[in-house]
Structure 1
Amino acid sequence: MLGPLPPSLLFLLLAFQAVAAGASGEELGPVRLNGIWGESVTFSLVVPRGSRVDSIVWIAKSTIAIVEPGKEAPPLVIDQRYRERLRVPDGGYSLQIMDLSQEDTGTYTAQITTEGTTEPIFQRFALHVYKRLTESDINIVPGQDSVRTVNGTCNVTLNCSLLGGGEEVTYTWTQTAESSVVSSGASILISHRLRSGVSPVTCMARNPVSSSSKSISPQEVCEGFSSTGFPAGSSSPVTYCQVKGILLLVVLGALLTAIGMVHVLTRDKERLD
């Protein structure tokens, strides 16, 4: 079984692909790159050895810049969304985009024109921009109507998500006592015996550039719920029959009050007569 290619051999292989692409005008790639919000990414080109590059036109949804290698002048920025965010490191063949945002996600094509050839070389890059995750990005909440208590046991479904959403995010749950993954996915069902200790659970969120975690105590979620499934300190729910009886008493009370008032008014009138 063959091991990894030596760096020198890998470079020669890429250079050979670039020569082949230059001969046919076909695109090379795309090469996937992962970028981070607010940081920078560099598109590194592979140019056939011995070739002199006249110009490189960088294209995304539209032409964004034109670079003439070897010149000290900055790249000619065409798309103003990239103004003051592009640079060519050391005046070479690479292009660097700074202060990345989600809007920079997409496919970038370098159209390389070399001296003495009529067909340009195309190299493509697929850029994906992600946020570097922090604990404050993670939100853990009980599922709607998910907290249930039966015979002194609280069952609760916890949902883990990212505030503002995110692409290619995976979630895993661990529990301190077990120190191992207890569930994979955004949700977990926890059964907690009321008035007994239980270790916190931790949700870890990962995307292709970072990971972060946040913990929560099932005991805190279940706190305030009694074994009957209603908030501690409260009575059992009022039934329909009880509500009906109360309303009937109110109506009867109002009716008796009205009769009493009519009787008093009639008696007073008779006295005056």
Structure 2
Amino acid sequence: MRALLWSLLLLLQKAKGFSGDDEDPEEVVAVLQESITLSLEIPSNEEVEDIIWFSQKNLAIVVPGKEDQPANITVKDSRYQGRVGISDSSYSLYISNLTWEDSGYYQAKVNLKTSLLSLTKSYDLRVYRRLSKPHITVNLKISEKGACNISLMCSVERAGMDVTYTWLSSQDSADTSHEGCDITTSWRPGDKALSYTCRVSNPISNTSSRLIHVGSFCADPGYPKKPATFCLLTKGLLLLLLLIILAVGICIFRARRNYEMTRVRKLQRNRVKLKKKGKPDSSPV
């Protein structure tokens, strides 16, 4: 009796060790609209009855072929129809044309013929997009003391999740970095012009922006008189516009006055002609 209980205890411990329930899911990263394989390793001395793949619900059932025939896969989830396959050698699951909805928890349950045990393996699949080139937005503000304050913002279109932004710069022969999508710095005439690069990364790709020369936004011959020059230019344009409007108004006024004077003179000549026609001719009696 004691030997039987001891055998049952060993069998339970063996079953627990094969189950994989105590193991964390294997993290798998994949690229949007590309493919991924969820690898499955089965001991060579084990004969497989069937394999059940789970996702949010039953995904597929795999039955090994007989007499060197290929395995048969039956897809249960319509979302994966036409997008999944298996490897004949290891029964690993292949998923193509990945979507955002494919991210999540997966599990393979392998039922064996040679024993009452079932092998299970879990996966945590995360789908990411390949990052495009970063876009840099520059905001410039000049203080009353003449300092040029610059704010740089880095962004990526449709970046998705788990994106890291890092600003890289070189100052005094030492490379420095700053985490975050934006950074603020200042520059004065005579200062060494710093250069910045924004690097964006996620678990499957990384990309960098062009080199941003901070001093180039402020270092021009008119700095820091640029705002005053701009104001003078604006005032000059407004004055020129007023002069043009005034000149046009004077021309219109003169043209109207000349028209009225010409009209009056014409009326006066017509009256004189009418009087001459209406006066009787004087002849000697």
TM-score, structure 1 normalization: 0.67
CA distance in 2, matches of 1:84, 1:20: 27
Q: Is the contact made by 1:67 and 1:75 (CA closer than 8 Å) also made in structure 2?
A: yes
Q: Report how far residue 165 of structure 1 moved.
A: 1.2
Q: Is the contact made by 1:45 and 1:123 (CA closer than 8 Å) also made in structure 2?
A: no
Q: Report how far residue 175 of structure 1 moved.
A: 0.8
Structure 2: state its 5+ residue gaps: 1-12, 269-285
1:50-199 equivalent positions in 2, closer than 5 A: 52-69=47-64, 72-78=69-75, 79=78, 81=80, 83=82, 85-88=84-87, 90=89, 92-98=90-96, 100-115=98-113, 117=116, 123-133=121-131, 137-143=132-138, 146-150=139-143, 153-177=147-171, 178-193=173-188, 198-199=193-194
Q: Is the contact made by 1:89 and 1:95 (CA closer than 8 Å) also made in structure 2?
A: no
- C-alpha change, 1:75 and 1:68, in structure 2 (3 Å) is same
1:30-79 Cα deviation digits (max 9, x unpaired): 432222343533243678x9865311121224433221247641441414
What is the DSSP-based 3-state SS (H/G/I as helix, E as strand, rest coil) of the residue aligned with 2:263?
Answer: helix
1:5-48 Cα deviation digits (max 9, x unpaired): xxxxxxxx997444485xxxxx975432222343533243678x
Q: Report how far residue 258 of structure 1 moved.
A: 3.9
Quick one: percent identity of the two aligned structures? 22
1:213-241 Cα deviation digits (max 9, x unpaired): 334222486178652585998664636x9
What is the DSSP-based 3-state SS (H/G/I as helix, E as strand, rest coil) of the residue aligned with 1:238?
Answer: helix
Q: Report how far residue 162 of structure 1 moved.
A: 2.4
1:172-191 Cα deviation digits (max 9, x unpaired): 11113354333110111232
Q: Report how far residue 206 of structure 1 moved.
A: 2.2
CA distance in 2, matches of 1:198, 1:125: 49
What is the DSSP-based 3-state SS (H/G/I as helix, E as strand, rest coil) of the residue aligned with 1:147?
Answer: strand
Q: Is the contact made by 2:18 and 2:118 (CA closer than 8 Å) also made in structure 1?
A: no
Amino acid at match of 1:206: S
CA distance in 2, matches of 1:201, 1:40: 36
CA distance in 1, matches of 2:228, 2:80: 57
1:60-116 Cα deviation digits (max 9, x unpaired): 2443322124764144141474536422251x3532335545443222232433446
CA distance in 2, matches of 1:111, 1:201: 51
CA distance in 1, matches of 2:58, 2:225: 63
CA distance in 1, matches of 2:204, 2:249: 74
Q: Is the contact made by 1:18 and 1:28 (CA closer than 8 Å) also made in structure 2?
A: no
* 1:33 aligns to 2:28 (yes or no): yes
Counterpart of 2:38 in structure 1 is 42
Counterpart of 1:217 in structure 2 is 212
* 1:265 aligns to 2:262 (yes or no): no
CA distance in 2, matches of 1:159, 1:15: 55
What is the DSSP-based 3-state SS (H/G/I as helix, E as strand, rest coil) of the residue aligned with 1:176?
Answer: strand
**Would you say how many aligned residue pairs link Structure 1 and Structure 2?**
246
What is the DSSP-based 3-state SS (H/G/I as helix, E as strand, rest coil) of the residue aligned with 2:151?
Answer: strand
Q: Is the contact made by 2:134 and 2:208 (CA closer than 8 Å) also made in structure 1?
A: no
CA distance in 2, matches of 1:44, 1:160: 41
Instruction: Answer with 1 or 2: which has the greater Rg.
Output: 2
Amino acid at match of 1:191: S
Aligned with residue 227 of structure 1, among 205, 223, 229? 223
Q: Report how far residue 169 of structure 1 moved.
A: 0.9
CA distance in 1, matches of 2:20, 2:134: 50
Q: Is the contact made by 1:29 and 1:123 (CA closer than 8 Å) also made in structure 2?
A: no
Q: Is the contact made by 1:15 and 1:46 (CA closer than 8 Å) also made in structure 2?
A: no
CA distance in 2, matches of 1:75, 1:229: 78
CA distance in 1, matches of 2:15, 2:27: 18
1:125-180 Cα deviation digits (max 9, x unpaired): 220022455xxx2313124xx12234664332222222331220111111133543
CA distance in 2, matches of 1:251, 1:207: 60
Amino acid at match of 1:200: S
Q: Is the contact made by 1:35 and 1:41 (CA closer than 8 Å) also made in structure 2?
A: no
Q: Is the contact made by 2:134 and 2:198 (CA closer than 8 Å) also made in structure 1?
A: no
- C-alpha change, 1:20 and 1:210, in structure 2 (3 Å) is closer
RMSD, aligned α-carbons? 4.2
